[in-house]
Structure 1
Amino acid sequence: MANPVNPPRGMRDFLPADKARREHALGIIRGVYRSHGFDEIETPVVEDHARLHSGLGGDNEKLSFSILKRGIKPEALAAAAESGDPEQLADLGLRFDLTVPLARFYASHRAELPPVFRSIQIAPVWRAERPQKGRYRQFVQADIDIIGESGVIAEIELITATSQVLAQLGLKDCVIRVNDRRILFGLLDHCGFAPEEQAGALITIDKLDKIGVDGVTAELAETNEAAAAAMRGILEGVDQALAAGIPVTREAIAAVLPAGAAEEGVTSLVTLGEALDGGLPEGVEIRFDPTLVRGMGYYTGTIFEIAHPGSGSSVGGGGRYDGMIGRFLGQDVPAVGFSIGFERVVDLIELDTSSGPASVALVADTDTPLEDLMVLKRALVADGLRVRLEKRQKNMKTLLARLESEGFQRFASVRPGDRDAALLSWRELGE
């Protein structure tokens, strides 16, 4: 039986200090993205069940939480169980990412938006994950997307803005790994995988960091032995180059790819690398990784992930998804997005949350008139301070230690008749 005082499994409560730290980090993210010309939007936490299961969300659709229809009758439950059709039971679901809602939002409001729309979305999403370290059923995503721009300038803007966020958060040693879906499919064609074999082959290649070249080759050989042998030769050379890091230059990319493979994708990445060369903040690098797949089937071009040595998984990622919005509009609209894995990032950083208003406490005798306390508090708040009212305790040491642990810097004793904030005698906490 679940513990009635704990949050639901895979979800968390946040104490005031944790909440302040998270909000401070979110403030940095919002500020940087806004400075790069992005505008924040908000969408509902629920979407139509059919939209969430339309094939746009990849494997995440299997992890979505459905919301039962209101007033559903027992006979309807039985009919749904017999038919195997979940839409007989649920008409809504909790969003599992922010990309599907954005596509629906853009289709709904296109006439009210600029031709090239740069959006920020920072909000919770829900997935029926198996809870474990760094993986929760409710978590925050911080996304930026550019819709309406087909050129590589969109990817350049996203990577530039996100790399500055990482730097402002103090996250060092980040590597942004980039690839292009056109390169991946070009490699599969070169090796001899038939079109119907390629989706499965990508899923296998995506396991390279877990099962190694031998494991990937063995799994590919179950489908196409000759093509698997050709892919092995490529992966062995790539595996060695990845250890040293592959710059995003034409020479470095050509050294690890078969001649002439996916020229369009290579040219796009070279343009990206040239534009970002020397322009990323200290502590953030960009590297080519031809084995980067990104699990979502909707990616059509450039894809990227943020790797950090302190995390066993990526701490952000995204890519170009030019075909998704067309599912709503009936015509393709170019789109590309970058998402920061906020929960993983916030666990890696140390943030100074003392940069806000100074926090002070008024410690009042029990017989101090409430009118006096409110006069003092109003005056101090008007001066830009954060003010806490506390009753005097017998054990003042415990009270003062708690205030200090909660980020308060000073306190003043208040007695009956004290109504002038300028006359208060302040003492520093921690002295």
Structure 2
Amino acid sequence: MKIDNSPARGTRDLLPGVVAHRDHVLATISEVYRRYGYERIETPALEAITRLTGGEGGENAKLVYQVLKRGLPEQVEAETPLNDLIDLGLRFDLTVPLTRFYGNNQANLPLPFRSFQVGPVWRAERPQKGRYRQFYQCDIDLIGEESVLAEAELIEATTEALAAVGLTDSTVRLSDRRFLSALAQHAGFAEEDWMPFFITLDKLDKIGWDGVRAELIEKRGLPESAVKTALDGIERLRDLPASKVAESLTDVVPNLDEQVVSDLATTAASLERLDGIEWAFDPTLVRGMGYYTGQIFEVSHPSTTSSLAGGGRYDKLVGRSLGKDVPACGFSIGFERIVDLLEQKLDRPKTAVLYESDVPVPDALAAARRLRAEHGEVSAIKRSGKFPAQLKRLEEWGFTAFAHLRADGESEVRQLR
């Protein structure tokens, strides 16, 4: 049988230059988060399938890669339920594993706890440009902080991290799941219809207003009067100046809790003190995950129609592991997206020690060792072929300089570019 050597569909091999670029971006982001006190943790790729499909992952829970139990026979009886064959799945984000981590380890963690995670996640997406089945996420979370200090700090740290890698002039879009729930209630939706309403509204950028109306009324069968009231209210709240948001919210949604308006005002006041950051209230912002309970936010940038980062408050999710609710808020950077946006220009000196065949290996290694003290990244490479052709290959491989080592002694370092 011929073996297929291509990567799995929706995944990629990454060449050294690409990995170096990704490492540079990650190191820059990590340094910013470290200055804010966020501590790096790691969680397993595999989680219990019951946790991953427990209803809090929104649409992404439908994209879980499920893992068969160990020890199953080669054939199973017909009509065997799928749930009897599966016990684990690959994580589709880093938030659900974090809440289990915190539930298991909270006795040994500070309060509040500032968490930083980066790692691969998996979703059974339909592969297309910019969407992969395996990709990296980069998350910070603040657990145990009740006030909107959490939201404001997460947004400040993340926009600073994006600016540090070169993505300035970003815009923060704010909303609140409590606002959306109050809007749905005011419009006349039954409570069991709130989530279908949110899920459909979240597709606005893909299917437009006509598509949202058609799906809510024709596909989901929601009352036309309720749909009209909700969408009319959203239209009235779009593109408002910051000074008009609080007043307009209470006009459009009279049943909205005053705390929601106060929290949004506090977050906005914090953002207004940041240089280079614009913010706007966006009533169409939903975020796909089902676990959000309060403010939600995304960061947009002129260079792309997709968001660069997104997150929100999820006060009920930790309680699934701990048995009691713990306030929590998180922000996830779209790592793959920003890496693709940034030019791969790394000012990284890289020197080759080209040693002739009559030079003993210990001498070649010693020469490379001496040069590392001054030139950083140095590799010993045996001379082969025509000299100009080998120098050209070195440039293609990312080397910026070389030293020609002969048996009678080592030459000085020369630049390739």
Give the TM-score category using the shorter length: over 0.9
Task: Tell me the equivalent position of 2:233.
Answer: 234
Task: Tell me the equivalent position of 1:181.
Answer: 177
Residues 178, 11 of structure 1: alpha-carbon distance in 2 compared, 3 angstrom cutoff: same
% identical equivalent positions: 48
SS at match of 2:341: coil
Indicate conservation of the 8 Å contact 2:350/2:375, yes or no. no
CA distance in 2, matches of 1:84, 1:2: 33
Matched, 1:334 2:330: no
Matched, 1:366 2:353: no
Indicate conservation of the 8 Å contact 1:250/1:266, yes or no. no
Task: Tell me the equivalent position of 1:15.
Answer: 15
1:384 Cα deviation after fit? 5.7
Aligned-partner residue type, residue 378 of structure 2:
V
Question: Which of these residues, 302, 306, 309, is aligned with residue 316 of structure 1?
Answer: 309
Task: Tell me the equivalent position of 1:349.
Answer: 342
Residues 225, 297 of structure 1: alpha-carbon distance in 2 compared, 3 angstrom cutoff: same
Indicate conservation of the 8 Å contact 1:183/1:261, yes or no. no
CA distance in 2, matches of 1:424, 1:83: 72
Task: Tell me the equivalent position of 1:260.
Answer: 254
Q: CA-atom RMSD, angstroms?
A: 2.1
1:37 Cα deviation after fit? 0.7
Question: Per-residue displacement from partner, 1:46-65 (whole Å, max 9, x unpaired)?
Answer: 11222222223222222111
Matched, 1:388 2:375: no
Task: Tell me the equivalent position of 2:290.
Answer: 297
Task: Tell me the equivalent position of 1:61.
Answer: 61
Question: Per-residue displacement from partner, 1:39-84 (whole Å, max 9, x unpaired)?
Answer: 0001111112222222232222221112212220245x325xx243
CA distance in 1, matches of 2:126, 2:31: 33
CA distance in 2, matches of 1:412, 1:395: 16
Matches within 5 A, 1:100-115: 100-115=96-111
Indicate conservation of the 8 Å contact 2:300/2:307, yes or no. yes
Task: Tell me the equivalent position of 1:275.
Answer: 270
Q: Answer with 389-398 or 287-296: which moved more.
A: 389-398
Residues 274, 428 of structure 1: alpha-carbon distance in 2 compared, 3 angstrom cutoff: same
Gaps of 5+ in 2: none
Matches within 5 A, 1:148-297: 148-221=144-217, 222-238=221-237, 241-242=238-239, 246-247=240-241, 249-255=242-248, 258=252, 260-262=254-256, 263-280=258-275, 282=276, 284-297=277-290
CA distance in 1, matches of 2:2, 2:265: 54
Matched, 1:94 2:87: no
Matched, 1:78 2:82: no
Indicate conservation of the 8 Å contact 1:204/1:219, yes or no. yes
1:147 Cα deviation after fit? 0.4
Normalising to structure 2: TM-score of the pair? 0.93
Question: Which of these residues, 405, 411, 415, is aligned with residue 396 of structure 2?
Answer: 405
Matched, 1:49 2:49: yes
Aligned-partner residue type, residue 147 of structure 1:
I
Question: Per-residue displacement from partner, 1:337-368 (whole Å, max 9, x unpaired)?
Answer: 000111111111125422x5x32111111111
1:264 Cα deviation after fit? 2.3
CA distance in 2, matches of 1:377, 1:211: 59
Paired residues, number: 412
Normalising to structure 1: TM-score of the pair? 0.90
1:383 Cα deviation after fit? 4.1
SS at match of 2:252: coil
Aligned-partner residue type, residue 84 of structure 1:
P
Aligned-partner residue type, residue 47 of structure 1:
E
